[in-house]
Chains A and B, each alone.
Chain A
Amino acid sequence: MQIRHRFVDRLWATALWTLVGFFVVNLLALIATVVVSSFGTRWLRSWLPADWTLRWYAAAWSEFQLGDVLLTTFQVVLAVVVLSAVFGVPAAYALARRDFPGKRLAMLLLLLPMLVPPVTYGIPLATVLYQSGLGGSMAGVILANLVPSIPFVVLVMIPFIEQIDPRVEAAARVFGAGTGRLFLHVLLPLLAPGVMAALLLVLVRTIAMFELTFLTAGPTSQTLVVALYYAVFASGVRAVQSIDAMAVIYMSVTLVWLLIALRFVNPTQLVGRSKRSG
């Protein structure tokens, strides 16, 4: 009886770990394929390319105007990060500290953009942007990316602010700190770790945000991920390897920030579920 139990247990565990292993191995191999291909000269009917080269990177850089694309990407991402902090953190503070009529409505408004897929609201939003003349411009891309980012910052920050004891602020007031100095000397240092975590997550998510940028960007306001999409979409035109080189550049940009982010946040936060929302 016991021995049978243990055997079934072992079998079940082995099956599950094999499944996980299979998934992880394929995932890593899939990523490795892109990297290997980007460094290979010719890769046909063999396990590895015939020889190694760096020339695809030079080719990709000039063919896809990666200099401009990267610059645009960083401008967009930086603007989105800064603006979502400016709008998101004060809102999170108010929602964490006050109960007011309409609070539930405000929370609903902040939750919805995270629950509705970007394509659904991205298309009407792109329509409005194009009609107001912002469509295709960098400003339009930034505005569109704020829609999921601000709620994200708010939802990450609310629990963080709630766990800061309000008596600390009261104490600062008792000792004569005005609103400005309270913010500068008391709140800012306390909030900094949470703000940084939230912004790093926004940063990683914005670099990878395809749909909204895709729907609102014009030729001069493409970010890296959208440029990559167009390159893959029109893959007959360019050498596969230079597209792969571009993919590796995109991957490195994302991974560097992901690794930085992972030093400060729990990986599950990238999935974007504020704790205990269920």
Chain B
Amino acid sequence: MTVRGRLAARGIDGVTLLVLPAVALLVLLFVYPFLYGLFLSFRPKDGSLLGNYARFFGDPFFRDTVWVTMRLALPVTLLNLLLALPIALRVRHLRRQRLLITVLVLPITLGTVLVSEGMLNYFGPQGWFSRTLMLLGLIGAPVKLVQSYTGVFLSLLITGFPFTFLLTLSYVTGIDPALEQAGATLGAGPSRRFRHVLLPLLLPGLAITFCLSFVQAYSVLPSAVLVGDPSRTTRVISIAAYQAAFEEYDYAMASTVALIMGATQLAVVGMALGLRGLLYRGPAGGAKG
């Protein structure tokens, strides 16, 4: 057997080689910088091995960013999920979903910078939001919703909810409607159908949705600066990383912050996926014979 024949038997031939350029480029642009950042993080300016990490965890200015980010990202992600699930369960019965979906895709494609810019106007003291509430007599004076924790929270809600909703909807529509009908003919009312049929089938998908939405919220950057309070209550971890890199030009520290950011976020994601591992994870489409 020739070398070529032996390789072909293992699935390696000309076609397989097509994967190489993409892999090589990603190794160069993704893996290498990551490893380099890791290497750099252990070579702080003061020369000690763990100096950067000691600085991060020793200085509340850095340390608190983890807590600040969590305090934003976790509640927003959970709220988004909590809102998205019942709405997705309703919308799936809708025949004309496309219009609603298109409207919801808007904030995702426009991005956080534009949403923040709009929020500055809309939620500002002279904006339509405060005006309408005052017209309805719900508030006496304009509310201050931007330049604060609330501002960032709202921006994450506006860009995050559509994302969470569309993911949830794709899981919800993946469940064979006959399963719910079967539940109904077997005597389960709406709430018990949800608890015994839909929820167990949806939970693995919801765990994934939670992870992806959380990652988005955790890496919040532009809105934390533009509509937040970036020196105190919304000084999120990505701001700290950015400042280390581009204001102090301390790339070693910046890499350290980025890595800690990745690690803390992965810890939450890992926990969610670990819980998911305990669940049923087969197809939800009703097994085909």
Contact = CB atoms under 8 A, between A and B. Distances in A.
Interface stretch (B45-53, B60-68, B176-184, B250-258): B250-258
Given A13-B90, A123-B37, A29 B122 contact: yes
A30 B158 contact: yes
A33 B122 contact: yes
A97 B245 CA distance: 43
B149 interface: no
Interface in B1-27: 10-19, 21-23, 25-27
Interface stretch (A55-63, A68-76, A143-151, A189-197): A143-151
B153 interface: no
B26 A109 contact: yes
Contacts of B158: 27, 30
B128 A29 contact: yes
A117 B218 contact: yes
Nearest to A228: B113
Nearest to B163: A271
A253 B234 CA distance: 30
Interface string A195-222: 0000000001100111100110000000
Contacts of B225: 233
A175 interface: no
Given A17-B90, A119-B221, A268-B166, A251 B245 contact: no
Interface string A18-58: 01100110111111011001000001110100000000000
A27 B106 contact: yes
A44 B14 CA distance: 67
B105 interface: yes
Contacts of B12: 98, 100-101
A113 B102 CA distance: 26
A246 to B, nearest CB: 9
A13 B111 CA distance: 30
B22 A124 contact: no
Given A19-B83, A106-B23, A119 B111 contact: no
A123 B31 contact: no
B72 interface: no
Interface string B116-148: 111111100011110100000000000000000
Nearest to A129: B33
Given A124-B34, A150-B22, A268-B101, A94 B17 contact: yes
A33 B118 CA distance: 7
Counting chain A residues whose Cβ lies within 8 A of the other chain, the interface size class is 35 or more
B30 A127 contact: no
B170 to A, nearest CB: 5
A82 interface: no
B275 interface: no
B19 A208 contact: no
Contacts of B87: 16, 19-20
Given A127-B40, A251-B114, A267 B98 contact: yes
Contacts of B262: 116, 120-121
A110 interface: yes
Contacts of A122: 258
A165 interface: no
Contacts of B13: 98
Contact of A270 (B108, B131, B215, B238): B108
Nearest to A15: B86
21 contacts: A23-B161, A30-B115, A30-B121, A91-B23, A94-B18, A109-B26, A109-B27, A115-B212, A119-B258, A123-B37, A123-B241, A123-B242, A124-B255, A127-B255, A146-B25, A151-B26, A208-B109, A244-B117, A254-B110, A258-B105, A278-B205
Interface of B: 10-19, 21-23, 25-27, 29-34, 36-37, 40, 83, 86-87, 90-91, 98, 100-122, 126-129, 131, 158, 161, 163, 166-167, 169-171, 174, 189-190, 204-205, 208, 211-212, 215-216, 218-219, 221-222, 225-226, 238, 241-242, 245-246, 251, 254-255, 257-259, 261-262, 265
Interface of A: 5, 9, 12-13, 16-17, 19-20, 23-24, 26-31, 33-34, 37, 43-45, 47, 86-88, 90-91, 93-95, 97-101, 103, 106, 109-110, 112-113, 115-128, 130, 143-144, 146-147, 150-151, 154, 179, 204-205, 208-211, 214-215, 225, 228-229, 232-233, 235, 240, 243-244, 247, 250-251, 254-255, 258, 262, 267-268, 270-271, 273, 276, 278
Minimum-distance CB pairs A-B, first 9: A124-B37, A117-B219, A91-B22, A90-B18, A100-B11, A208-B111, A94-B19, A124-B33, A94-B18
